[in-house]
Chain A
Amino acid sequence: MPAASPEAPSAEAIGLIQRLKLPAPSDTAYAETRFVHVLRKPLQLRGELHYGGAGVLGKRVDDPYRETTKIANGEVEVQREGKAARTFSLERAPELQVMLASFSALLGGNADSLAAQFAIAMTRHDAGWQLTLTPRAPEIARHLRDLVVDGRDAEVRCVTLHESDGDASVMRLSALATTSLPEVTPAAIANVCRGSAAH
């Protein structure tokens, strides 16, 4: 059970999150890099994210393979090319449910809902801002170390997921989705996300 918030997010963070609210539906191109310890090389994916309002999310992978994931009404449907669609209920995976709900809250500008699940820290730098969301519930923390959101003004540029086993996934959004990376390392991508590198 999540404990009562020990440190509430700052008014600035709350204001920022509220300004991040996307109109529903919105579609955003993304480029994702996944660092997985069982793989010798990071996975690189490209596609489009869909936000259809509270609880309705979609992720389409266009490259290097084609896959569509739709999340609505607590059901996840995964459609892979040449395979039958698979559906499963998020109720069977509460950690996943919390993560997706948080993602939906972030896109919906719902600061209260986010603050209930995460401790939220905000920093500002020359080129923009960074939100660090650390899960409060131990069963979520078992899988997810933190969620880092980088942005500039009212625009989210990157969402980085640090898993507890050291694996990480960085998703560059909209403008950053099409840029090429100088080097595929966590540090290099972090720089791109902060906007302090070549850009």
Chain B
Amino acid sequence: MQLMPMRILIVAIWLILTAALAFVVQRTLVVSSDLRSFMPPPKTADQQLLLDQIGEGPASRLLLLEIDSKTASGERLAAISHDLAKSLASDARFVRVLNGEGDLAALDPKLLPYRFLLSPTLDDAHFDVAYLRDQLQQRIEDLASPAASLLKPFLARDPTGEILVLAQRWTPARTPRMCAGVWCNTNGDVLLLVETRAAAFDPAAQAAAIATLRESYAKLPGASDATLVVSGPGYFSVLAATTTRAEAEWLSGLGTAGFVLLLLVAYRSGMLLLLAAMPIVSGALAGVAATSLVFGPIHGITLAFGFTLLGVAQEYPIRLFSHRRAGASAQESLRGVWPLLRLAIASACIAYLAFFASGVPGLQQLATFTIVGLLVAGAATRWLLPSVMPAHFRDVADARWLERFRLWLDQLPRLRWVPWLLLAISLAMLIGAPTPLWQNDLSALTPVPPDLLKREGELRAALGAPDVRYLLVFEAPTADAVLALSEKITAQADAWVAHGSVDDVELPSRYLPSLATQLARQAKLPDRKTLGAALDEAQRDTEFEPELFMPFLDDVDAARTLAPLTPKAFAASPIGGRLSAMLAERNGRWLGIATLSGVHDAQALETIATTTSGAVRLLDLKSASESLVASYRARIGAALLVALVLLSLAVAVAFRDAARAWHVIAPMSLATLLALALLRICGVSLSLFHLVALTLAAGLGLHYALFFERRVDAVDEARRTLHATIVCVLSAVLVFGLLATSSVPVLRAIGATVALGVAFHFCLSTIMARNSQARQKELADHVEAVP
């Protein structure tokens, strides 16, 4: 009776400590959702560029908007487009909003004298009498044309038409249709392009941006008559995150309810049920705290996977509860199984260390979270739980069905050849699998519904938005050298467009020529006196007012002494933003990025790498990211193999018996192989998530094998082992089997793999580990019989 207040005190202290830790964690926890945390750290400039572009490249940060209506008029929709663009333009979440209004291709008025350096006119022409006379004649013809009223305002300042030349040069090859002054598609639905500040694969930030977008839209007058359709990579990442989370929460909730029911049936005690939560809650909190302390922001996937992997720890209290025996205290009961449990915890930690070795920040977080969580949960099971367990309990060994089940298992024929047969079958299935071994396309695990993807493609084409997959990359020591390189391949790019390999190549030099080119053009500008005389001569036969072109003479005069325009100075102008997005400095070198629209023949574009000896390359973001994923997945695979070896060593050292260790490691390895083979023969290509799930299943399988292999003489202790294992297997199959029914491939991958794995581990442990037991018994009997 003295123990009563002690137990309550311990639980109270635990509750207070847990609550305090939970409070601190909750206050300091920052959850990030940038999927790039689950990519390996970039090693080369190219990989860095890839990671930048995947999430932050202008193409991937674009949201494509379509506003359609069956009732509203074109003018009404145009007004909505205008109002929406205006309200989003002032929001910090958006870099820019384009709806076709305003002339983007216009040169900043402050930079007008620079037009002679920016326009290619002077590459071939001289501002001499003949050229000027021809230009003036053309201006007269312009004045007589239908477009006269548009051209007149610039006539005095720009008789050579340089402003128009630049505007044409800077207008994208494919621009959307216009309806009532804004972009629209062939159905008359208005279209907008919105560039978010948030990276595409940061679903949380994208969700916030899209929510703002929808709120702003809903507030507009007349918005209820029309529908806003959002599309684009950012939207898809939000969609994937939302459906994944919703299904995971619903299925985990169902699983937890089933698990609670299972524990109640197994132990008939509400108290034990509450106590069972202590290790896992302690472990999870400690895991979050430790990860947060080491890494700062924790990735959402780390949390989700971490809790999944921590599921192993749920076995610890179950082992303690099931092995409680009559006539012994909880402490004494635990002492019998603790060495095995300790070995299981250590082995699981070793396996999860493999994720640490991957070098991928997200997986390192995952390893930290899980290892700390398991250690703390184990410690809580060992040192906390026994002292707070109720004195009254039901010895599970008394259950009659358990004894019947044990006897049935015992009388099963010991078919020693079964494992070898299974091994052969697994290998055959692995070899005969119909699909590629690896699923390199991460997006295939959270797929976008095909109709949405189709619509996105249509919108992208209608908007002439750049391709998200291909980029042309230039590499040079300086920004200016990048521009020079870009100038060098302009002819090639034009040829591609002419041959239909690509619809448009947006080269950096389209906006800003290199310094050398600018200086060469500048050198061809005549001085004021020469130009004035030539102009007078050219103007003599025309009816232009004398002195009309003074502003032109002023501009040319100014342009003669201008310092050439640098990318930095150009960036300040409206069109300069486009150039800035195309130039990046990496480790003292400069990269230029040309966006491509409508790539029809990637192979033709690839040849540029050979003709420029690698200075210009076609970067295929899809294949580059796939190869990146492949390379680190290979690392994780290797790390897992090393972990298996270490784990085997740990078991062997703990047992001081290689044969016994073999009987634990063999069923675990074979069951993992079998689960793998079954997935493969069903056409499943493997991803990182399958590897995580297989590791979890192996961790659970290790428990079964360890406990089945444990030699016990007492029949009732064997029953307790069986009881604990059955509870563990059922709970794992229940929770993960439910996950396997998900419509989201990533959840299905984890659920099916773990559920399958656990079932195989149980069956094989029953056969193989118990074989070991039987053999030990035979040996012992034999030894006894010999003398």
Residues of A within 8 A of B (CB): 1-2, 32, 34, 36, 38-41, 43, 45, 59, 61, 65, 67, 69, 71, 76, 78, 80, 88-89, 91-96, 99-100, 139, 143-144, 163, 165, 167, 169
Given known pairs A1-B79, A40-B545, the reply for A94 and B178 (CB within 8 Å) is: yes
**Contact partners of A95 in chain B: CB under 8 A:** 149-150
Residue from B146, B150, B152, B177 in contact with A38 in the complex, judged by beta carbons closer than 8 Å = B152
3 A-B pairs with least C-beta separation: A91-B178, A143-B149, A39-B543
Residue pair A69, B144 in contact (C-beta under 8 Å): no
Question: Would you call B177 and A39 a contact (CB within 8 A)?
Answer: no
Interface set of B (CB-CB < 8 Å, partner A): 75, 78-79, 137-138, 140-141, 143-150, 152, 155-156, 168, 171, 175, 177-178, 180-181, 542-545, 548
Contact A34 B147 (CB under 8 A): no
Known: A45-B144, A91-B178. A38 touches B137 (CB 8 A): no
What residues of chain B lie closer than 8 Å to A32, measured between beta carbons?
144
In the complex, the chain B residue whose C-beta lies closest to that of A2 is B75
Chain B residues within an 8 Å CB radius of A36:
143, 148, 152
A116 to B145, CA, bound (A): 25
Residues of A within 8 A of B149 (CB): 95-96, 143-144, 163, 165, 167
Residues of B within 8 A of A71 (CB): 146
B141 A38 Cβ-Cβ under 8 A: no
- In the bound assembly, the distance between CA atoms of A3 and B17 in angstroms comes to 70
Instruction: Let me know if A38 and B147 touch, CB within 8 A.
Output: no
When distances are taken between beta carbons in the complex, the residues of chain B under 8 Å from A45 are 144
Q: What chain A residues lie within 8 Å of B168 (beta carbons)?
A: 88
A-B contact count (CB 8 A): 79
CA distance A165 to B544 in the complex (A): 17
Q: Give, as a whole number of angstroms, the nearest-CB distance from A184 to chain B.
A: 12
Are B544 and A38 touching (Cβ within 8 A)? yes
The CA of A144 and the CA of B149, in the complex, are separated in Å by 8
Which single residue of chain A is at the shortest CB-CB distance from B177?
A91
Residue of A nearest to B82 (CB): A1
Q: List residues of chain A with CB within 8 A of the CB of B177.
A: 91
In the bound complex, how far is the Cα of B155 from the Cα of A144, in angstroms?
18
Q: Known: A65-B137, A91-B178. Contact between A38 and B545, CB under 8 A?
A: yes
Contact yes or no, B178 A69, CB < 8 A = no
Whether B548 pairs with A38 at a CB distance below 8 angstroms is yes
Taking CB as reference atom, which chain A residue is nearest B147?
A96
Say how far B402's CB is from chain A's closest CB, in angstroms: 80
Cross-interface CB contact of B144 among A2, A43, A139, A165, cutoff 8 Å: A43
Contact partners of A163 in chain B: CB under 8 A: 149
B140 touches A43 (CB 8 A): yes
Pairwise interchain contact B156-A99, C-beta atoms closer than 8 A: no
Residue of B nearest to A44 (CB): B144
Q: Is there contact, CB below 8 Å, between A165 and B75?
A: no
Chain B residues near A40: list those with CB within 8 A.
543-545
Give the shortest distance, in Å, between B227 (CB) and chain A (any CB): 21
Question: Which A residues are CB-close (under 8 A) to B543?
Answer: 39-41, 43
- Interfacial chain A residues near B175, Cβ < 8 Å: 89, 91-92
| Distance in angstroms between the alpha carbons of A59 and B141 in the assembled complex | 13
| Chain A neighbourhood of B78, CB < 8 A | 1
In the assembled complex, 14 residue pairs joining A and B whose CB atoms fall closer than 8 Å, in A order, are A36-B143, A38-B548, A39-B544, A41-B543, A61-B144, A67-B145, A91-B177, A92-B171, A92-B175, A93-B147, A94-B181, A96-B147, A143-B150, A165-B149
Contact between B141 and A165 (Cβ–Cβ < 8 Å)? no
Instruction: Add 12 more A-B contacts to A2-B75, A36-B152, A43-B144 (CB < 8 A).
Output: A1-B75, A1-B180, A38-B155, A69-B145, A71-B146, A76-B146, A91-B175, A93-B147, A100-B146, A143-B150, A165-B152, A167-B149
- Are B143 and A69 in contact, with the CB atoms below 8 A? no
Distance between B61 CB and nearest chain A CB, rounded to angstroms: 26
Cα–Cα distance between A93 and B148 once the two chains are bound (Å): 12
Distance from A10 Cβ to chain B, minimum over Cβ atoms (Å): 25
- In the bound assembly, the distance between CA atoms of A61 and B138 in angstroms comes to 13
The answer to whether A69 and B152 touch across the interface, beta carbons within 8 angstroms, is no
Whether the Cβ atoms of B156 and A38 lie closer than 8 Å is yes
Could you say which residues of chain A place their CB within 8 Å of the CB of B140?
39, 43
A1 to B542, CA, bound (A): 40
Across the interface, which residues of A come within 8 angstroms of B152, CB to CB?
A: 36, 38, 165, 167
Closest chain-A Cβ to B182's Cβ sits at a distance in Å of 10
Asked whether B146 lies within 8 Å of A99 as measured between CB atoms, the reply is yes
Residues of chain A lying within 8 A (CB to CB) of residue B147: 76, 93, 96
How distant is the Cα of A21 from the Cα of B75 in the complex, in angstroms?
Answer: 27
A31 to chain B, nearest CB (A): 12
Taking CB atoms, residues of chain B closer than 8 Å to A88 are 168
A34-B143 in contact (CB<8A): yes
Residues of the A chain whose Cβ atoms lie less than 8 Å from the Cβ of B181 = 94, 139
Q: How far is the CA of A78 from the CA of B78 in the complex (A)?
A: 30
Q: How far is the CB of A42 from chain B (nearest CB, A)?
A: 9
A43 to B181, CA, bound (A): 32
* Separation of A139 and B180 alpha carbons in the complex (Å): 12
Task: Tell me whether A96 and B141 are in contact (CB under 8 A).
Answer: no
Given A38-B152, A65-B137, is A78 in contact with B145 using a C-beta cutoff of 8 Å? yes
Contacts of A94 in B (CB 8 A): 178, 181
* Nearest-Cβ distance from residue A4 to partner chain B, whole angstroms: 11
Per the bound structure, the CA–CA distance linking A58 and B460 in Å amounts to 34
Shortest C-beta distance, B168 to chain A (Å), equals 8
Q: How far is the CA of A65 from the CA of B149 in the complex (A)?
A: 20
B178 and A67 within 8 A (CB): no
User: Which A residues lie within 8 Å of B178 (CB)?
Assistant: 91, 94
A93: chain B residues at CB < 8 Å are 147, 150
Taking CB atoms, residues of chain A closer than 8 Å to B75 are 1-2
Q: Once bound together, how far apart are the Cα atoms of A150 and B693, in whole Å?
A: 84
Contacts of A169 in B (CB 8 A): 148
A165 to B79 alpha-carbon distance, docked (Å): 29
Contact of A34 with B144 at beta-carbon distance under 8 Å, contacts A39-B544, A40-B543 already known: yes
In the assembled complex, the CB of A112 is this many whole angstroms from the nearest CB of chain B, namely 15
A88–B181 Cα distance when bound, in Å, is 16
A106 to chain B, nearest CB (A): 14
Cα distance A76–B150 in the bound complex, in angstroms:
14
Contacts of A41 in B (CB 8 A): 543
Q: Nearest-CB distance from A138 to chain B (Å)? A: 12
| Min CB gap B462→A, angstroms | 13
Which of B137, B149, B175 has its CB near the most chain A CB atoms (within 10 A)? B149
* A71-B146 Cα distance, complex, nearest whole Å: 11
| B137 proximity list for chain A (CB < 8 A) | 65
Q: How far is the CA of A43 from the CA of B156 in the complex (A)?
A: 18
Q: How far is the CB of B165 from chain A (nearest CB, A)?
A: 11
Which residues of chain A are within 8 angstroms of B141 by Cβ–Cβ distance? 61, 65, 67, 80
